[in-house]
Structure 1
């Protein structure tokens, strides 16, 4: 009976090089420093919140891709985990866009000031 070779594509217990993890940790540190710099520079308004959210999403993406091994998973598993989160963000954006219309409709028909 033939032994399965490592060339079959079934590398059980494959480990990634330590350099990859060190590079990811350095990037996480840099992104965290940028996030703290937003507060240190006392940026205000939409610029502040958009930068904080951008750095947060980038850090979460790195953590999911490398430490949860999503970068090496099958596409179906990636879709099963990431697609619901993306859909929630789309629904939140739609609700945010519709909120002004809802408020205007309530003010028009109910006639009260919020």
Structure 2
């Protein structure tokens, strides 16, 4: 992984941590953002070469599995995500960022990193 990719992943992990802290201190139900939580989790997982399954995204988004499934379908319909059968176990469904969306989230992470200012 090159320096740019590492910086993007670090920014993504910081955002995931921020979302978790906000949820824990204020309440996930008061500050919901499941689509963003799903996108961040998928980006990190893909960088780390981990497969992501439908059920695990509900954990990342702090919402019930049925709600996560509806949100994932919405993100697929908007062209942000793709889903496919797991090559090792066709009964399991994997979810990934749509190839056309990956540059969009990378640009977003770069801009967030720029606005955050220099790191210590």
Same fold (TM over 0.5): no
Higher helix share: 1
Give the TM-score, by structure 1 length: 0.36
The structure with the largest alpha-carbon Rg is 1
Higher strand share: 2
User: Which structure is richer in relative contact order (CA contacts within 8 A, separation 6 or more)?
Assistant: 2
Give the TM-score, by structure 2 length: 0.34
